[in-house]
Structure 1
Amino acid sequence: MKTKSSLQKYQVYLAPLLVGLLIVATASAFLKPKVALILASGSELSQKKQALARLTQKVAALQGLDPQTLNTKTQLALKALPVEKEVPWLIRTVKAVAEETGVVLGELNVDPGELASASAKPSQAEGKSNLTVLEFDLNAEGALELLVDFLARLEAVLPLMKLTDVAFGQASEGVFQLSLGLETFVMGLPPTMAVTDQPLAIIGQEEEDAYQELVSFKPTLGEAVMPSMPVGKEDLFNL
């Protein structure tokens, strides 16, 4: 009887307690996704703030560059390593050097493949480089000293050229034949620009030394018109 009396005493609290538990369980099930969404939004906002901070640093660094100097260096770099397979320009360059040195240019063969810049992708042989090799084969005739001068000038003109498979033969008295392989390079454009989670590439001493060396190279009569590229204070993140 005493136990039954105790149960009756607390029975008045049982119903409100069950209702309270039901309310808590319902609220928990309803609020859980809301809380998760709020936490996710906070995390996303934090990431965007960090990206904005990095972009602000990059903008400050870009604003510190001199547009005229940057444009001059960019144009020279594009003459040395074009972003397109400028086959007519390269052929005119070789012919111009031949005319300047007085040698007689014979056959000139090239297999350009696809001419679009999208095909300028690194080969396996190039490893991590984003350069594509464009190969030429040619032959020429002339006095030995003229042919040697021809080779020296090819290595000192823009675009950059690498001499391969050089062979001499004597055609007649005082006249020699030259068989030559040439490699020129196409610089593939990066697939993406202005990646916020990567640091801004800064021109260091190594790049400055390479630029100073390029200054001594000579553009020839075969020079092509370089593409116009934004520099200086242009908005690189809204292309």
Structure 2
Amino acid sequence: MTPGELRIENVSVAVAGRALVHDACLEVAPGEVVALAGPNGAGKSTLLRTLYRARRPTSGRVLLDGEDVWRMGGRRLARRLAAVMQEPPGEFELTVYEVVAMGRSPYKRAFQGDDADDREIIMDALEALGVTALAQAPFDRLSGGEKQRVLIARALAQRAGTVVLDEPTNHLDLRHQLDALRLVRDLGVTAVVALHDLNLAAAFCDRICVMDAGRIVADGPPAEVLAPALLAEVYQVDAEVTIHPRTGLPQINVVPEPRRRTSL
């Protein structure tokens, strides 16, 4: 897997006359892991969809190693960019193994079966996400967290050098959240990860890009971006940012408003 260089150049997206993303610019260096953060409705998922060609930009370009992804053949792009989407897939009668094996499709001709190399890659992906024991289980009967891990395993089996993940920690418990992000970190791929949990973003990402109302309003290392003033402006919360004594990473603690007593 050779990590790619990803560039978002002046991308805007409008749907039914409503602007969802405004003139977004972002550069992700080969091997860099960038978190895309922001409140609900900020435009994170919409921007990510332009990267894996689920939503065509109204204007601007998305470049992978200098090539416009919207001009690349689908099979060729799939060998270089994998996506873990937020929307759950439709119900289909496939086993977990068969879902993960779909990650090998870009390397095959129509109706070509798995060879020994494919099977090894698929089993490695299942093991990496801790779902080997579920290999023959029906995918549509899994819990939300199990499905999420299987879909990450499918992207891993794709062996692409660039990965886009839209809220990959959704439905995952604490341990599997850490495992999934640590795996992305250790793969050495180029990754753009939409995350709500800013503490996880600070722990596993080189940079945090913050969106608000469809615009990129901050971009930089976690220690620079995660400032109380920005959190107050974008998230409208009172938060303290401290340095964790063991990790040396910024840690956000939201200060809750005091409870008001109600008289009966």
TM-score bracket, normalised by the shorter chain, equals: under 0.3
| TM-score when normalising by structure 2 | 0.23
Higher strand share: 2
| TM-score when normalising by structure 1 | 0.24
